[in-house]
Amino acid sequence: MTPIPPGLETLDFRFDGVRTVPAFAPVLVGVVGSGNLEVMLEPDAGAGCAVRVQTSARGFAPIWQAVLDDFHRRHGLSGVRVSINDMGATPAVVSLRLDQAVQELRP
């Protein structure tokens, strides 16, 4: 068995966006609690969508990649920075929170 190193894992992802979001006020949804996460959306200069995840559940990078691929297929945001603090949320909860954040985007 390989030992699991302690501490948080930071994961970075980048997607080429197709839907440029007009200027908006930052959005925060969710709370960092057990099995939950918070998602913040902010305007970002330039094209594309950068995602940074900080999570206490280490070793799930491929799952995050799959969940974020799906998210990007649904919304294809551009000019948006996504920041996530996660405390072991399941993929379904992550997807719902991401969709909730997009719903709250307002100019």
Partner 1 sequence: MTQERLISYAECSARERLALLLDPGSFHEWLPPRDRVTSPHLAQLGVPSAFDDGVAVGRAALDGRPVFVAAQEGAFMGGGVGEVHGAKLVGLLRRALRERPAAVLLLLDSGGVRLHEANAGLIAVSEVMRAVLDARDAGIPVIALIGAANGCFGGMGIVARCTDFVVMSDLGRLAMSGPEVIEASHGVEEFDARDRALVWRTSGGKHRWLSGDCDALVEDDAAAFRQAAIAAMAALPASRPVTLDALEAEHALLSNRLALLEGTVADAGGDDALTLWTRLGVADASRIPDLEVADVVSLRPASFGTSQA
Compute CA distances 10 → 6, 52, 66, whole Å.
13, 7, 16
Binding mask 6-25 for partner 1 (x = CB under 8 A): xxx-----------------
HSE-CB for 7 with a 13 A CA cutoff: 3
Q: Does the protein bind partner 1 through residue 61 (CB under 8 A)?
A: no
Angle (deg, nearest 10), helices 91-103 and 61-75: 30
Interface residue with partner 1, options 14, 18, 19, 28 (CB under 8 A): 28
Given the rule CB under 8 A, which residues bind partner 1? 6-8, 26, 28, 31-33, 36, 38, 40, 42, 54-56, 83, 85-87
